[in-house]
Amino acid sequence: MKILVAVKRVVDYAVKIRVKPDKTGVDTQNVKMSMNPFCEIALEEALRIKEAGFAKEVIAVSIGPSQCLDTLRTGLAMGADRGIHVQTNSNFLPLTIAKILKSLAHVEKPGLIFLGKQAIDDDCNQTGQMVAALLDWPQATFASKVVLDKDKNVATVDREVDGGLETLSVDLPAVITTDLRLNQPRYATLPNIMKAKSKPIRKMTVEDLKVDVQSDIEIVGVTEPPKRKSGVIVSSVDELIDKLKNEAHVV
């Protein structure tokens, strides 16, 4: 079985972002970029499944500008066997990304597609669900535990839902999106980073995949959220209770 993992290049999670003065978006020039944390977890899980003997090959896919090659190299250094880079300079909506991944699934015929549950830049939390729908495959979102049964061709997945945990069993092929607690992604070691340089990355375009890239969402503007007015540091519990009672009226 092959496993396809979608990885996205995003502004590093620790960076404090700045909204562009012309309100067209967020400044991503000269900002540290990294692999989306949820994608790292997705890739780690795929690698563990391969190491357990359930899969033969792990393929990392990234869609975006040429710098996505760095993200793919990171994935290859972690242990992915090969990469696919779908080159584009547009910022595609999750629906378009899902269509691209569907096309790739038709080419590569994976038994599983792993994605992060959301990208920390657009915070959409949509792509995995949409790929599953387009392929008419079952989905297991927000996974915190994945157990494969090779004989039955089934994945049993614990999902992080609002009230606690829910367990599902899905027939393969399936789409799984990963939550934070699924695993602790490994670091790429220097020898593996060197090895990754010789691993193949196939370059493709959306035209190759014949995907309709029309957008049905227009970004009108991006603004900073309202600033909270600055607070006060109180010196004692008594003062705090007094403020909460008589100033804020919340206790």
Partner 1 sequence: TFISFSRSPKSEGETNEKRMTTSAFLLRALTKKKQFVASNAPRSISIITNLSRYISTLILAEHESGSIKPQTVSTVVAANSLGESSSISLLLAGSGSSLQEAASQAASCHPSVSEVLVADSDKFEYPLAEPWAKLVDFVRQQGDYSHILASSSSFGKNILPRVAALLDVSPITDVVKILGSNQFIRPIYAGNALCTVRYTGGGPCILTIRTTSFPVTPITSDSESKKAAISQIDLSNFKEDSASRSRYVGQSTQDTERPDLGSARVVITGGRALKSVENFKMIEKLAEKLGGAVGATRAAVDAGYVPNDLQVGQTGKIVAPELYMAFGVSGAIQHLAGIKDSKVIVAVNKDADAPIFQVADYGLVGDLFEVIPELMEKLPEKK
By CB under 8 A, the residues from 82 to 101 that bind partner 1 are: 93-95, 98
The DSSP annotation for 115-128 comes to: EES--TTT----HH
168 binds partner 1 per the rule CB under 8 A: yes
Question: What is the chain's Cα-based Rg?
Answer: 21
Site string for partner 1, 107-126 (x = CB under 8 A): ----------xx-xxxxxxx
Place of tokens 């999670």: 13
207 binds partner 1 per the rule CB under 8 A: no
190 binds partner 1 per the rule CB under 8 A: no
19 binds partner 1 per the rule CB under 8 A: yes
13 binds partner 1 per the rule CB under 8 A: yes
Number of C-alpha atoms within 13 angstroms, CB side, residue 190? Answer: 0
CA nearest to 127, candidates 112, 138, 141? 141
243 binds partner 1 per the rule CB under 8 A: yes
14 binds partner 1 per the rule CB under 8 A: yes
- 227 contacts: CB under 8 Å, gap ≥ 6: none
Q: How far is the CB of 115 from partner 1 (least distance, A)?
A: 12
Nearer to partner 1, 88 or 118 (CB): 118
- Beta-bridged to residue 61, according to DSSP, are 6, 84
Site string for partner 1, 127-156 (x = CB under 8 A): x-xxxxxx-xxxxxxx-x-----------x
If you ran DSSP here, which 8-state letter would residue 18 be given?
A: -
What single letter denotes the amino acid at residue 213? V
Q: How far is the CB of 129 from partner 1 (least distance, A)?
A: 4
Nearer to partner 1, 190 or 237 (CB): 237
Tokens representing 109? 């015929």
